[in-house]
Amino acid sequence: MIIKRLSDDGVQTLGIMTLPNGKVYHTLELAWKNNNKKVSCIPKGKYKVRKRTSAKYGEHFHILDVKNRDFILIHFSNFHTDLLGCIAPGKGLKDINNDGRLDVTSSKQAMKEILAVMPNSFDLEII
């Protein structure tokens, strides 16, 4: 899986997630703020990822070995205000909550589709 970051406006980061089968999703993350916990996206680089389940997000992905961070996830969410450093995939972009910023749409459906095709463990590159 590859995530290519396309824009960072100081509040949120938008990108494109490409799966090994060629399927593409939009991504939403926090802006880059020096990898500070709970307010920044994680550094670009290569990571190991594993499927995980929790009461809050159900089945999702855990990005492992992020320097100075823990429990960085790929999980459903539509808004940057719901993220603490994690990555939210979606099927489109739209200002859903009328705050002037693009949100990812159909995030739960995107996660369902991604979980169906990705193995239990895989490599992620963020560029």
Q: What confidence tens digit (pLDDT) does each residue in 38-75 have? A: 999 999 999 999 999 999 999 999 999 999 999 999 99
Q: Given this model, what pLDDT does residue 111 score?
A: 97
Q: Given this model, what pLDDT does residue 52 score?
A: 96
Q: What is the DSSP letter of 116?
A: H
pLDDT tens digits for range 94-125: 999 999 999 999 999 999 999 999 999 999 99
Q: Given this model, what pLDDT does residue 23 score?
A: 97
Q: Which residues are CB-contacts of 27 (< 8 A; sequence separation ≥ 6)?
A: 3, 5, 13, 14, 15, 16, 17, 87, 88, 89, 90, 104
Q: Sorting pLDDT into bands at 50, 70 and 90, what band is 25?
A: very high
Q: Given this model, what pLDDT does residue 61 score?
A: 98
Q: What is the mean pLDDT of residues 10-23?
A: 97
Q: Given this model, what pLDDT does residue 41 score?
A: 98
Alpha-carbon distances of 96 from 61, 78, 80, 117, rounded to whole Å? 25, 8, 12, 27
